[in-house]
Amino acid sequence: MTGLSALNGRNGRNGRNGRNGRNGRNGRNGRDGIFFAGGETDGQVSAALMSTFEGITRQWDVTRHRPRTAAATANLPALSPDLAAFERHEAFFRNHIIDYNLDHLFAPLVLNAPAHVVLRESGACAAIYTLPLPQGTNGTTPFREVLNTYLQGQMRFVKSAAALRDERFDEIHVQQTDTLSFFGALMSLDDNRTPWTLMLLDAILRFGTYIEMPVKLHLTAARPNEMSGFVQPIIQPPSHASFPSGHSVEAFAVATVLHALSEDAALAGSTAYSAQSAFATPAAPTENSLLMRLAARIAENRTVAGVHFPADSFAGAGMGMAIGEYLVNALSGGSHTGAYTLQTTNIAALDFNYDTIGFTGADKPFNHTPASVAVDATVVSPLLKDIWVRARAECASLIFDMAFGPDPSWSVPVQWQPNRG
- The 3-state secondary structure of 325-389 reads HHHHHHHCCECEEEEEEECHHHHCCCCCCHHHCCCCCCCCCEEEEEEEEECCHHHCCHHHHHHHH
- How far, in Å, are 79, 95, 144, 199, 305 from residue 87 at the CA level? 10, 11, 46, 12, 40
Q: Burial of 28 by CB count in 10 Å (0-12 exposed, 13-18 middle, 19+ buried)?
A: buried
Strand segments, DSSP code E, in 109-233 are 110-112, 116-120, 127-132
pLDDT of residue 31: 43
Report the distance separating Cα 13 and Cα 8, nearest Å. Answer: 9
Is residue 403 one of the residues assigned to a domain? no
Is residue 407 one of the residues assigned to a domain? no
pLDDT of residue 269: 53
pLDDT of residue 13: 41
Q: What is the pLDDT along the chain (421 residues), one digit of tens a residue?
A: 444 333 344 444 444 333 333 333 333 333 444 455 545 667 788 889 889 988 888 667 666 555 554 444 456 777 778 888 998 999 999 999 999 999 999 999 999 999 999 999 999 999 999 999 999 887 789 999 999 999 999 999 999 999 999 999 999 999 999 999 999 988 888 888 899 999 999 999 999 999 999 999 999 999 999 999 999 999 999 999 999 999 999 999 999 999 999 865 555 555 789 999 888 665 566 677 899 999 999 999 999 999 999 999 999 999 999 999 999 999 999 999 999 999 999 999 999 999 999 888 889 999 999 999 999 999 999 999 999 999 998 887 765 433 333 433 333 333 333 332 3
- How far, in Å, are 247, 258, 273, 399 from residue 188 at the CA level? 21, 11, 23, 10
Is residue 406 one of the residues assigned to a domain? no
Is residue 125 one of the residues assigned to a domain? yes
Angle at CA of residue 290, ends 288 and 294, nearest 5°: 150
Report the distance separating Cα 91 and Cα 97, nearest Å. Answer: 10
Tell me, what CATH number does 127's domain have? 1.20.144.10
HSE at residue 413, side-chain half, CA atoms within 13 A, is 4
Range of the domain at 167: 56-397
Is residue 1 one of the residues assigned to a domain? no
pLDDT of residue 247: 98
Which amino acid makes up residue 37? Answer: A
Spell out the residues 6+ positions from residue 352 whose beta carbon is closer than 8 angstroms to its own.
157, 296, 299, 300, 303, 310, 311, 313, 314, 317
Do residues 170 and 44 lie in contact, with contact meaning Cβ atoms separated by under 8 Å? yes
Q: Specify the number of domains making up the chain.
A: 1
Is residue 405 one of the residues assigned to a domain? no
Q: What is the pTM of this model?
A: 0.85
Is residue 129 one of the residues assigned to a domain? yes
* Contacts of 393-397 spanning 24+ positions with Cβ under 8 A: 393/71, 393/72, 393/74, 393/76, 394/193, 394/194, 394/195, 394/196, 394/197, 395/69, 395/71, 395/187, 395/194, 395/197, 395/258, 395/261, 395/262, 396/68, 396/69, 396/71, 396/72, 396/262, 397/72, 397/193
Is residue 411 one of the residues assigned to a domain? no
